[in-house]
Structure 1
Amino acid sequence: MDDEAMIAQRRGAMTGGTPPGRSRGRLADEVYDTLLGQMMSLRIEPGSRVTIDVLARELGVSQTPIRDALNRMEAEGLVVRVPHAGYRIPPQITRHRFEDMLEVRLLLEPAAARRSAERATLEQVAGLRRMLEEMAELEGGDGLMAYGAFGLRDAAFHDLIALSAENQVIREALARLHTHVHLFRLLHDTQVTHLAMAEHEEVLAAIAARDPDAAAYAMRRHILLSGERFRRLFDEVKDADGMEA
């Protein structure tokens, strides 16, 4: 599945399709999901500037849903408003914010994995397997585009677990957390690591085995190990900044 299809699939799952006469809120949600997909696939790069009129032309919609979507993204810290210049994609999260996000993930994602092991359909389990296969094809890739493609599938993997857990509140909360995490890594570590893949495999194996305790444990372990990898990245960035100063 290519990146455009992945974006469309996630957007369709979130909105349930786009019927004629769709509401302003529904259209704003679709724009929001599209912009998230473009950020994750690097069509919109970290640090770049975006404007309402340009996005409206590119997406073929009026400025109102664009403005609504950007206001929502600003509230979530995904974009920063620049006076008289539109919006900017922030280049990275702070370490303090990352630790807060990690704490929330540890509260929500093991619970989602537990419920997924209890409730996931065979089709959803097969979908998780396909995502891991696609990530495996990207493993070892270098550069922003390789990690952008990997990150998009990684986010979709976690999103499908939340979807199969049948808790929309958890799903919506995790979606924006994963975007922040991947945008930071895009700037500082674009190596696709086999470590995350092995951890994903453990989570999927537990879900497929219908073992809620093992699924929750595997997800918690994955998040903790991921947290350690990111802490090392923060330390490396801090050291590099100190050397440049």
Structure 2
Amino acid sequence: MIERLHAIMARLRDPETGCPWDVEQDFATIAPYTIEEAYEVADAIERGDMDALRDELGDLQLQVVFHARMAEERGLFDLRDVLDTICAKMIRRHPHVFGDGQSPGWEEIKASERAGKSADSSALAGVTVALPALLRAEKLQKRAARTGFDWPEAESAREKIDEEMAEVLAAEDDAHRFEEMGDLLFAVVNWSRKLGIDPEAALRAANGKFERRFRAMEAIAGEAFTSLDLDAQEALWVQAKQAERG
């Protein structure tokens, strides 16, 4: 079936008879859609909506075919190369399944692959800049921790939050406050990691909780919601919170 999708994309990208919008796209313009589709896959999983997941996985697959087709047009690589590369990678990373039964470990194999691709020998090499900032912070911290650069226990990481909070409050101007707020958020991610909590998942859950409770407040107050003062809105928040907890 992927061959059919590949043929459809080739038709859409035809300069003479294709879709004008598809034809004018390039890697940079399509990249945001690729990221968006990945998040929509995650959203469908979060909601437990398997019909939506089937649909979103198709949209994500389309992104792979779209990028591969643009590369093929430039003579760089094609969809077969993409599939051959991931097949080889999965076999290489699972020698305990496809090889002699011995495996140095997933991270060690990936580190060896990175070393073969780049002259950058840093332990932080290969942490994608385009990742969401919260996720990238956690990955950077995990990489650094493998070298021994890490807090010995969660309490030390928590104390760093107090230190960074004080520096935010003591900031003398917006630029300094901006910098210190970043350090504070980075410290919170570090503490979360030391507690064994996925900070991205925790914040996603908090976003969902806030949205549910805010919508409940709006439903309770109706059109009068925006005219309520802060005390009345806070009272509604407590009511929505209690209703959610049952």
Shorter chain as denominator, the TM-score bin is under 0.3
TM-score norm. by structure 1 comes to: 0.24
Higher Rg: 2
